[in-house]
Structure 1
Amino acid sequence: MKLKKKFLEKSKKVAEERINILMNLAEKESNSGKTERSKNYVLLGKKIAMRMRMPYPKEWKRRICKNCGSFLIYGKNARVRTKAKNYPHVVITCLECNSITRIPIKTAKK
């Protein structure tokens, strides 16, 4: 049982490293204008995370469009706005598929 646990910990660490490598490659390809290749890298990273049953790293999760799967570069293919209408939140709009993601901003309690 201990061997299995050690193996799982080690394999999850390797999977996390591979996801980081793939996302860095996706960022480079998206900057150079090769969006299809960056989408493939994002898809591979998601498959690795699903296979290992681990959550996708939060730092990369918000950089991916949930609708079309493209890697979002703020200012190039994504628009970021802050709103404080009903509740303070950040609105990220993918300019390729026009999908909207809202992320709430935590406010200090009074």
Structure 2
Amino acid sequence: MRRKKDIAKAKNIVLERIDILMNLADQEFKKGNKDRVKKYIQLSKKLAMKMRIPFPKKWKRRICKNCGSLLIYGTNSAIRINSKNCCVNILCFECNNIYKIPYIKEKKLKRKLKNNMVKK
């Protein structure tokens, strides 16, 4: 019983440290230290892997899967909405990789709400 509480505390500490490291990476990007930014990202990923927890979604989408750089929208990446494929495209300018995030769930919810309104 005691072990489960210790593991939960450790996971919370790791999540806080990941958040701190990613905020530091964001600050260093603004200063122009790209090497340090990649180091902070690597450290935060290693922490998540070591504790076997998923990387937080708010930070996961701001890291390029190909080159591992921090994506700051407007400076080294661009976001486009592709209505044809129902996805959000994030383009990294450093490696020209396109990261696609589908938004099918949102479309299904909207369609479901619309159908419920028509039936009433």
Q: Determine if the TM-score, normalized by the shorter chain, exceeds 0.5.
A: yes
Q: Give the Cα separation in 2 of the matches to 1:109 and 1:51.
A: 41
Identity of matched residues, %: 52
SS for the counterpart of 1:109 is helix
Alignment correspondent of 1:89: 87
Say how many residue pairs are matched: 108
Q: Give the Cα separation in 1 of the matches to 2:6 and 2:23.
A: 26
* Structure 1 unmatched ranges of 5 or more: none
User: One-letter code of the match for 1:94?
Assistant: C
Alignment correspondent of 1:23: 22
Give the TM-score normalised by structure 1. Answer: 0.94
Bigger helix share: 2
Give the TM-score normalised by structure 2. Answer: 0.87
Q: Which has the higher contact order (CA 8 A, sep 6+)?
A: 1
Q: Give the Cα separation in 2 of the matches to 1:28 and 1:76.
A: 14
Q: Give the Cα separation in 1 of the matches to 2:12 and 2:86.
A: 35
Q: 1:27-72: CA deviations, max 9, x gaps? A: 1111221111101100000000000000000000000001111010
